[in-house]
Amino acid sequence: MATQPGVCPCYYRIVSRPHCNTKPDAPTLRRRLLEWYRRSRRDLPWRPTPDRPANPYHVLVSEAMLQQTQVATVLPYFERFITAFPTVADLAAADEQRVLKLWQGLGYYRRARNLHAAAKMIVETFDGAVPATVDQLLQLPGVGRYTAGAIASIAYGVEAPILDGNVARVLARIYRIADPVDQPATRKRLWELAEQLAPGEAPGDLNQAMMELGALVCTPKGPRCMFCPASDGCGAFAAGLTDALPAASPKRKPKAVTHRVLAIERGGRFLFERRPETGLWSNMWQLPTAENGDDLAQRVGLTVGPAASVGVFTHQTTHRTIRFEVGHALAVAGRLRRGAGVWRRLDQLDDLPLAKPQQRAVAMLAARST
């Protein structure tokens, strides 16, 4: 490769360092990752071990839960979920509201609906067995290339590559990739690198080793390079660029919006309505809430007395900063519009799945009435 003055001759052309000879060797890297993983892996209930064969359904559930969520958060949810739905057929036959209730607090509820739909498809189309090939897994709702690769490799030993945030960070550092990892061309390059690592012994262990390395050692901030099995051969470590990589495109500022919540009370019970089937928190329940200037009482056919403020809080989603303004009013007249909602005491919400901000609004309301 022709080099320019002051430009590193390595493939990834980081200009801030004058020199780089570090080039990881795929078979060696693979071997080191596997050795490290077998010594250091955490014993997780969905994870196959020499004494516990893989359960493809458990792997499917865990992969759905682990998207955007850390292992420690997922563990109790996974245990409760598997206790409630021990098999894929049990999940397929379950009521969606029960599935959402068991997911309550884990966030990103679309994952729960997709997992439920995937279980139904597995029963109807795949004779109740989680598919073993990447192509078939990709047919399941909510399953993309990463999840399909993870399930195929972990549950069935298929030589399928994976690339999620953790793995992208690990590969970008090892291979010293300077371009932002969220750009399509960089993703393509990272997938190619993951593909080069996939073939060989124990592809499921290899993929879990990369995930585990990203979670425990090659962390977003302050990677523990001294304890890393890949440090000998890691481009970022050799070049002192572990804090600079991976690079990301500048983030868009989240949009600021306001949601008005009106707790309408009648005879000690409060009105709860179901959110629409699509969009944020779809099919979850809430105190009447408006994202616009709607008259909330009129919307459900009621007339209310003067509203008192209960409190204000902010909830952050990926793209929005939502200010929740919670009020409380007594219903004084009118008849609840058919299908507009259900009346519940605040201690009778066990069957209504509520997203985190609605749980918070309910908690504020309960604290106020005690």
Q: How many residues bind ligand SF4 (CB under 6 A)?
A: 14
The amino acid occupying position 222 is G
- 173: its two tokens: 């550092």
Is residue 207 a contact partner of residue 154, using CB atoms and an 8 Å limit?
yes
Binding residues for ligand SF4 restricted to 273-332, rule: CB under 6 A: none
Question: Considering beta carbons, is residue 29 or 54 the nearer one to ligand SF4?
Answer: 29
Q: Which is nearer to ligand SF4, 59 or 236 (CB)?
A: 236
Q: Is 134 in the site for ligand SF4 (CB under 6 A)?
A: no
Instruction: Supply the minimum distance, in Å, between the C-beta of residue 238 and ligand SF4.
Output: 9
Joined together, the tokens standing for residue 185 give 């061309």
**Minimum CB separation from ligand SF4 for residue 233, in Å?**
8
Contact present, 355 and 281 (Cβ < 8 Å): yes
Catalytic residue among 63, 159, 265, 273: 63
Parallel, antiparallel or unpaired: strands 255-266 and 320-334: parallel
Residue 121 · residue 137 · CB < 8 Å? no
Residue 177 binding ligand SF4, by CB under 6 A: no
Check: CB of residue 100 under 8 Å from CB of residue 277: no
- Tell me if 152 contacts ligand SF4 by CB under 6 A: no
265 is catalytic: no
Interface with ligand SF4 includes 194 (CB under 6 A)? no
Minimum distance, C-beta of residue 330 to ligand SF4, in the bound complex (Å) = 59
Q: What share of the chain is helix, strand, coil (3-state, %, to 5)?
A: 40, 15, 45
170 interacts with ligand SF4 by CB under 6 A: yes
Which stretches does DSSP call E strand in the chain? 255-266, 269-274, 285-286, 289-290, 302-304, 308-316, 320-334, 342-344
Site string for ligand SF4, 237-266 (x = CB under 6 A): x----x------------------------
Q: Work out whether 236 is an interface residue with ligand SF4 (CB under 6 A).
A: yes
Count of C-beta atoms within a 10 Å radius of residue 245: 23
Residues making contact with ligand SF4 (CB under 6 A): 170, 173-174, 217-218, 223, 225, 228, 230-231, 234, 236-237, 242
